[in-house]
């Protein structure tokens, strides 16, 4: 599993854990044949709400909206330069990974853009 997949699972999994299912097991069994034909679209995950909740319990100020390092720390992931270079490769960064400031700015915007593409509700100013 790549780092971006881990980021997605940390954010989307956290949102699913906070939203309990209201469907009873017998109803699921009765509806099972119909769900294959018409699976309902999953509700978008409010990325800002999930991250704000995590930040409230972080115990330190983290600028996760604009810092890839702080976002990774907030999610409990490795924020090392090597890890960020691997993420840049995974997300097809075409610039020099030696220019870490430029790479980091690109990474945070790209991560939020990719989260939006994959079902996340992300504030527009986080991706530009």
Is 58 within a domain?
A: yes
Is 34 within a domain?
A: no
Query: Model confidence over 40-88: pLDDT tens digits?
Result: 456 889 999 999 999 999 999 999 999 999 999 999 999 999 999 999 9
Give the C-alpha distances (Å, rounded to integers) separating 71 from 33, 53, 61, 126. Answer: 40, 13, 11, 12
Query: Model confidence over 79-125: pLDDT tens digits?
Result: 999 999 999 999 999 999 999 999 999 999 999 999 999 999 999 99
Q: Which domain holds residue 65?
A: 3-18+43-126
Q: Tell me how many domains the chain contains.
A: 1
Is 23 within a domain?
A: no
Is 71 within a domain?
A: yes
Is 31 within a domain?
A: no
Distance CA 119, CA 50 (A): 13
Is 109 within a domain?
A: yes
Is 24 within a domain?
A: no
Q: And the tokens for 121? A: 């509700």
Q: And the tokens for 85? A: 């270079």
């Amino acid at each position: 599993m790549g780092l971006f997949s881990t980021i997605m699972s940390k954010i989307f999994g956290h949102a699913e854990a906070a939203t309990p299912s209201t469907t009873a097991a017998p109803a699921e069994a009765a509806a099972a044949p119909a769900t294959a034909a018409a699976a309902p679209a999953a509700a978008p995950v409010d990325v800002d709400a999930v991250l704000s909740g995590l930040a409230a319990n972080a115990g330190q100020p983290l600028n996760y909206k604009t810092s890839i390092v702080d976002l990774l720390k907030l999610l409990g992931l490795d924020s090392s330069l090597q890890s960020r270079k691997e993420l840049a490769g995974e997300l097809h960064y075409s610039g020099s990974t030696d220019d870490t400031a430029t790479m980091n700015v690109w990474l945070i915007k790209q991560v939020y853009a990719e989260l939006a593409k994959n079902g996340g509700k992300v504030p527009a100013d986080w991706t530009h």
